[in-house]
Amino acid sequence: MRFYIRKLLTLLSTVLLVSVITFLVFQILPGDPAQIVLGVDADPHQLAELRRTMGLERPAVERYIGWIKDTFTGDLGESLRYHRPVADIVSERMPVTVSLALLSVGLTLLIGVPLGIYIARKDGKLSALLLSMLTQLGLAVPSFWLAFILILLFSVTFRIFPTYGYVRWSVDPLRAFQSLFLPALALAVPGIAVVIRYLRNTLLDQSRMDYVRTARSKGLRENIVMYRHILRNSLIPVLTIVGLLIADTLGGSIVVENVFALPGLGNLLITSIGTRDLPLLQTMVLYIAIIVVCINFIVDILYMVIDPRIRLKR
């Protein structure tokens, strides 16, 4: 129990630190947010009124305390561009990005784990060598370039998937899946290559351990040795990679969502940066950071589920 409490306190302190950094970054950016919103020819009285509305005339510490209090009570303010509550805008866009990230990570694991096991078991053979070469290619190809190739191949040439746009899951689950599959695949390919390489190397290292030789000497079938012993002890590095991949997916979705014209947080973030919509920008950056921190917390808990010795060591 002490371990869980320590991890929870670490989570809360990290979230607090992230909120401070997020606030400070947007405060030190050059330019007057009110001037950017109203334009260079804006009336001075309108500028003063907007600065007062945005709280720019208050001390930074007071603004931070007010912002963090409002954020965690659900009062996220009003968007300067859309003139709507930030909470409503984010809640509309969040399902798109979350669905894209989950589908991308799902594809990464569904494809990467079996191929990693296959390459490890066929180590030294031609098929394993060819797949290893493909993983190098997967690591080298940028997601946005791969997104254009997928559109050209599967949308323009074969017309299997839509070129752009998004359909809600509640409206048509099949079309929603089709609209997200190509963007998710574009984000997943580098992750698939990483999972294959790490899992293959870890499986080969574990297969040389004494406990594996002991299991084989007892006459256990190779599948039992692989899936009950070697694979279980090889999952911790994979979990670490998955946690990092989710963070990379959230970052990569900014570009991919714009390529496929998906109405997610990435698309919204680009628009908000261009218009210097501070209430919306601060909220999105903070929420994305909180999601990443919470995912890392979950990964730490899963470590102990897979290998209870970690909890004992700590």
pLDDT in tens, 122-159: 988 999 899 989 999 988 888 889 999 999 999 999 98
Question: Are the beta carbons of 190 and 176 closer than 8 angstroms?
Answer: no
Six token digits for residue 64: 């931070």
Q: Does the residue 170 lie in any domain? A: yes
pLDDT at residue 310, rounded to an integer? 61
pLDDT at residue 281, rounded to an integer? 87
Q: Does the residue 76 lie in any domain? A: no
pLDDT of 314 over the 70 cut? no
Mean pLDDT value of segment 182-186: 95
pTM, entire model: 0.85
Q: Does the residue 64 lie in any domain? A: no
Task: Write out the DSSP string of 77-104.
Answer: -B-TTT-SBHHHHHHHHHHHHHHHHHHH
Task: Say what percent of the chain tops pLDDT 90.
Answer: 30
CATH assignment of the domain containing 135: 1.10.3720.10
Mean pLDDT value of segment 36-63: 80
User: Cβ atoms within 10 A of the Cβ of 101, count?
Assistant: 24
Number of domains the chain is built from: 1
Q: Does the residue 32 lie in any domain? A: no
Question: What gap in Å lies between CA 106 and CA 193, rounded to an integer?
Answer: 14
Q: Does the residue 284 lie in any domain? A: yes
Q: Does the residue 73 lie in any domain? A: no
Q: Does the residue 194 lie in any domain? A: yes
Domain enclosing residue 225, as ranges: 86-313
Q: Does the residue 119 lie in any domain? A: yes
pLDDT digits (tens, 9 = 90+) for 105-132: 999 999 999 999 999 999 889 998 999 8
pLDDT at residue 308, rounded to an integer? 66
pLDDT of 103 over the 90 cut? yes
